[in-house]
Amino acid sequence: MKFEFPPHANLDLLENYIFENPHESEQTTALNLWKFIFRLRSHQLALIKEYHPLDEMRCPIHFCIGQEAVPAVLSEVLLDEDFLFSNHRSHGYFLSKGGSADKLYLELFGKKEGANGGRAGSQEISCPQKNFFSGAILTGTTSIAVGVAHSMKLQGTKNISVSTCGDGATDEGAFWEALNFSAVNNLPILFIVENNNFATFKPYNERFKKFNIAEKAEAFGVSSKILFGNDPIQLHREICKSVSSLRNGGGPELIETVTYRMNSHVGPESDEVNQYRTSDDLNLWGKLCPLKRFQDLLVSESILSREFVSAYSEIVNQEIMDSFKVAREGAWPVLSEIMQYRNQTDYSLNEVRNSHLNKVVNLDSIPGPY
Amino acid sequence: MKKELTYAESILEAQKYILANNSNAVLVGQLVDSPGGVFGTTKGLVDTFGSSRVIDYPPAEQLMTASAIGMAISGMKPILVHQRVDFMLYSIDAIVNWLALWNFKSGDISEVPILIRIIVGKGWGQGPQHSKSLHTWFGQLPDINVVMPTNSSTAYWSIIEHFNQSKPTIMIEPRNVFGQKSNVDFATGIPNILNQSFIEVEGSDLTIAYVGGTRTQVYDAVSQLESRHQIKAEVIDINSISNPNHEIIFTSIQKTKKILVVDPTWSKYSVSSEIISNIAQRNVGTSKFLFKRLNWPNSFVPMSSVLESEFYTQTEDIVKESLKLVSQLP
């Protein structure tokens, strides 16, 4: 597939895209990819649905509906020892590296048993035990990922460092510093840039003169390709190739994936009021859904049956219900305990938050987002 | 077993020791592999340890500090060297938004055992973009050891101590003391340097607490005060910017009643502000104290040598202010 100009302007190309059929040897993989995408999508929809009536996930959440294919592929391809980094749109990557749904929900609720003890929330969540880290400041994780790759090269392992980000991150200077340094030092790093056309509300073609991120990365000496971002089988084939090359010292690679964010930039509400995209765009990309199109394909190829979908759907729904329960019932963290552990002796507590007495914090007194 | 070393030599020795005894330690930074080393502090290390342990970085400071952080979270123990504070400000995001809060936001799990050495320029017309210190800024950050060693011994042991604990450390080195010699005692075992202040000279007429490279002027002044004016100053090396020992400073001022704080940066919101406010907080009672600070003017270091001389705190300034303090009643 040859993209030109702003990738999202390639309407003919996109409208007529045919998802790749899995070969016989890829059928198990296809099923696993579908399961991951289905599960991730279900979790995102459930969180969106419960976000406001509950008002207990008191942090900004950047959902990833429509962008599930890359995390699905990485969940199949990466090892525990590989490192994975993402930006604020973190849930897919958290789950793909092996973070549990329970730990995710507990963290969103700000509970003590959350993935990071309620310190990080959604946009900075990490699973250190599985070498997954995220953070909202663009290129922050990209740059750290370079150092991890450098480490891996010096230690002579076959592990790789994977940095995922959006097209917005390529506005930042450090992104290009990262590419260049990785190329000069032949580092085992895979840069995945999910080009969903927007940096919050600003479209890609208003932010760049030269439109092809992969081509620009090639100019820095990083072997690059641009792919349609919603086709799990094609992505799996290409990412496997890249990862294999990386593990064998083939040098850094960049994959630009052309995809779309169906939900708003942040939060469950629609952001149509910002008038930055049309319903035509949403309709087009709705037809390119990595879940629906892929599911239809697998069902038509008899790799997936409707019974299996039903049965798996029940399992996933149970997981969602269990995770909400665990999160709601989880204990709150205590600031004084944290501070004590971190040796902050001069910290003086606000008398309203009387943590020593384990009083429940009065949530109404804490302001909401923005 | 003592050895007389210059400040620069003691840093070199400490790094050599760490690289020799930690196979996962690396030294990274711009021109760390150059023959002269970074102002002599990395001289010859690439010949001893090779280019996969002593690694040159390009002038891409935003990436490089973050990359060194990446090394530290994946099994290596990097020493990162920045030749000039002013230039490494591209790294502020990496330090403030990633390094400082990394362990906290992971839930106390993921550690970043990185040592960042930063050098403060002074003199020879280096001018406003080669002279800032900014130890105030770094010192404010929670969860990082920020130390500003003033002599060979504390410089040596800061590095060794860093590798004997798990928090990240920023070591700020005043270029103007690099040539100063003093004894380093290798037999003491690892002392507490990163979070400590030191009473270097005992006295009773006033307390002089100083930061960083002002050590040179402070000791010239202290010796003048004693020989010409029979004034015995109690001298405290504040040393730890992130965690000065306010207790020993308070004990000192209870004795002398007067303190002169010498802090080579802008006075606003500085370490000198912090020292004095901590004395005030501890002073529950009727003790009256006298406070004086010597800092930079509210401007930038000019290039012209005459202006430079006037800008920086000189020995005469310290003598003059000490005499004033001693002559006043609290």
Residue closest to A290 by CA, chosen among A338, A258, A267: A258
Interface test with B, best of A143, A146, A157, A184 (most B CBs within 10 A): A143
Q: What is the mean pLDDT of residues B180-205?
A: 92
Secondary structure class of B121 (helix, strand, coil): coil
* Helix B246-256 with B271-282: angle, nearest 10 deg: 70
Contacts with A, B 278-307, CB within 8 Å: none
Is the separation of the CB atoms in B82 and B91 below 8 Å? Answer: yes
**Is A74 a residue whose pLDDT tops 50?**
yes
The phi, psi pair for B5, rounded to 5°, reads: -130, 150
Contact A146 B66 (CB under 8 A): yes
- Cα dihedral value A213, A215, A219, A222, nearest 10: 80
Contact A146 B70 (CB under 8 A): yes
pLDDT grade, residue A54 (50/70/90)? confident
Q: What is the mean pLDDT of chain B?
A: 96
**Rounded CA separation A150/A170 (Å):** 21
Amino acid A358: pLDDT: 33
Is the separation of the CB atoms in A166 and A136 below 8 Å? Answer: no
Residue closest to B158 by CA, chosen among B14, B319, B327: B14
ipTM over 0.90: yes
**Rounded CA separation B233/B218 (Å):** 10
**Is B119 a residue whose pLDDT tops 60?**
yes
Q: How many other CB atoms sit within 10 Å of the CB of residue A61?
A: 23
pLDDT grade, residue B132 (50/70/90)? very high
**Is A348 a residue whose pLDDT tops 80?**
no
Q: How far is the CA of B90 from the CAs of B63, B85, B103, B141, in angstroms?
A: 8, 10, 22, 17
CA closest to B23 among chain A residues: A155
In which residue are the tokens 């202010």 written?
B321
Q: Chain A: give the shortest CA distance to residue B276, in Å.
A: 16
Contact A126 B62 (CB under 8 A): no
Amino acid B187: pLDDT: 85
Amino acid A353: pLDDT: 30
Residue closest to B88 by CA, chosen among B41, B38, B47: B38
B287 or A57: whose pLDDT is higher? A57
Q: How many other CB atoms sit within 10 Å of the CB of residue A57?
A: 20
Residue A103, token pair as written in the block: 């730990």
Interface test with B, best of A59, A113, A123, A144 (most B CBs within 10 A): A144
Element (H, E) at A244: helix A232-247
Q: What is the mean pLDDT of residues A195-203?
A: 95
Amino acid A361: pLDDT: 38
pLDDT grade, residue A345 (50/70/90)? very low
Is the separation of the CB atoms in B91 and B40 below 8 Å? Answer: no
Q: What would the pLDDT profile of B27-80 be if each residue is shown by its tens digit?
A: 999 999 999 999 999 999 999 999 999 999 999 999 999 999 999 999 999 999
Global pTM value:
0.94
Interface test with A, best of B53, B65, B106, B111 (most A CBs within 10 A): B106
Q: Chain B: give the shortest CA distance to residue A124, in Å.
A: 7
Q: Chain B: give the shortest CA distance to residue A162, in Å.
A: 12
Amino acid A344: pLDDT: 53
DSSP state of A265: S
With a CB cutoff of 8 Å and minimum separation 6, the contacts of A307 are none
pLDDT grade, residue A67 (50/70/90)? very high
Q: What is the mean pLDDT of chain A?
A: 92
**Rounded CA separation B56/A368 (Å):** 47
**Is A368 a residue whose pLDDT tops 80?**
no
Taking the CA of residue A312 as centre, how many other CA atoms within 13 Å lie in the half-sphere pointing to its CB? Answer: 18
What is the percentage of chain A residues whose pLDDT exceeds 90? 88
Q: What is the mean pLDDT of residues A236-259?
A: 98
Is the separation of the CB atoms in A196 and A226 below 8 Å? Answer: no
Q: What is the mean pLDDT of residues B95-112?
A: 97
Contact A120 B106 (CB under 8 A): yes
E-assigned strands of B38-159? 54-56, 77-82, 115-120, 145-147
Is the separation of the CB atoms in A204 and A198 below 8 Å? Answer: yes
Q: Which of B67, B106, B142 sits opposite A150 (nearest CB)?
A: B67
Is the separation of the CB atoms in B78 and B147 below 8 Å? Answer: no
**Rounded CA separation A61/A266 (Å):** 6
**Is A154 a residue whose pLDDT tops 60?**
yes
Q: Chain A: give the shortest CA distance to residue B110, in Å.
A: 6
Q: Which of B72, B76, B97 sits opposite A137 (nearest CB)?
A: B97
CA closest to B92 among chain A residues: A140
Amino acid A356: pLDDT: 33
Amino acid A2: pLDDT: 76
Q: Which of A140, A154, A342 sits opposite B93 (nearest CB)?
A: A140
**Rounded CA separation B79/B149 (Å):** 16
Interface test with A, best of B74, B80, B102, B103 (most A CBs within 10 A): B74
Amino acid B189: pLDDT: 78
Secondary structure class of B318 (helix, strand, coil): helix
**Rounded CA separation B76/B73 (Å):** 7
CA closest to A119 among chain B residues: B105
Question: B93 — contact with chain A (CB < 8 Å)?
Answer: yes
CA closest to A177 among chain B residues: B63
CA A99 to chain CA centroid, nearest Å: 12
E-assigned strands of chain A? 83-86, 132-134, 161-166, 189-195, 198-199, 202-203, 223-228, 253-258
Amino acid A364: pLDDT: 42
